[in-house]
Amino acid sequence: MSLNLEQYVSEFSAQNINGEHLLQLDGSKLKALGMTSSQDRAIIKRKLKEMKTSLEKARKAQEKMEKQREKLRKKEQEQLQRRSKKTDKCSSDATEGTNEQ
């Protein structure tokens, strides 16, 4: 409707075309849905291409964030392990010092 193509809304609804299905449509499928105007199909295809590009960018950004979180989690885990080893060593040294006296 925002593209001024509301005449196709009823057919898209009747065919249960949702967002996921919409992204799978190409020129021939649009034509089969009753979109006879090549200009209208071009508008839809251009918008679908924009949407796919946006989705891909969002997916890549999400993957990047997940990798950064994982890297940070590993770094924190390594720091905890080093602290634990340092604490164990200090405890061990203190015990040895007490035993020597």
26: CATH = 1.10.150
**Mean pLDDT, the chain, integer:** 87
Q: Classify residue 1: in a domain, yes or no.
A: no
Sign of torsion over alpha carbons 18, 21, 26, 30: negative
Domain that holds residue 35: 6-84
How much is the pLDDT for 58? 96
Q: Classify residue 28: in a domain, yes or no.
A: yes
**Is 101's pLDDT higher than 60?**
no
Q: Classify residue 95: in a domain, yes or no.
A: no
Structural domains in the chain (count):
1
The share of the chain scoring above pLDDT 90, in percent, equals 50
Could you give the CA distance from residue 38 to residue 60 in angstroms, rounded to a whole number? 33
Q: Classify residue 39: in a domain, yes or no.
A: yes
Q: What is the tens place of the pLDDT at every residue in 19-60?
A: 888 888 999 999 999 899 999 999 999 999 999 999 999 999
3-class DSSP string for 42-96: HHHHHHHHHHHHHHHHHHHHHHHHHHHHHHHHHHHHHHHHHHHHHHHHHHHHHHH
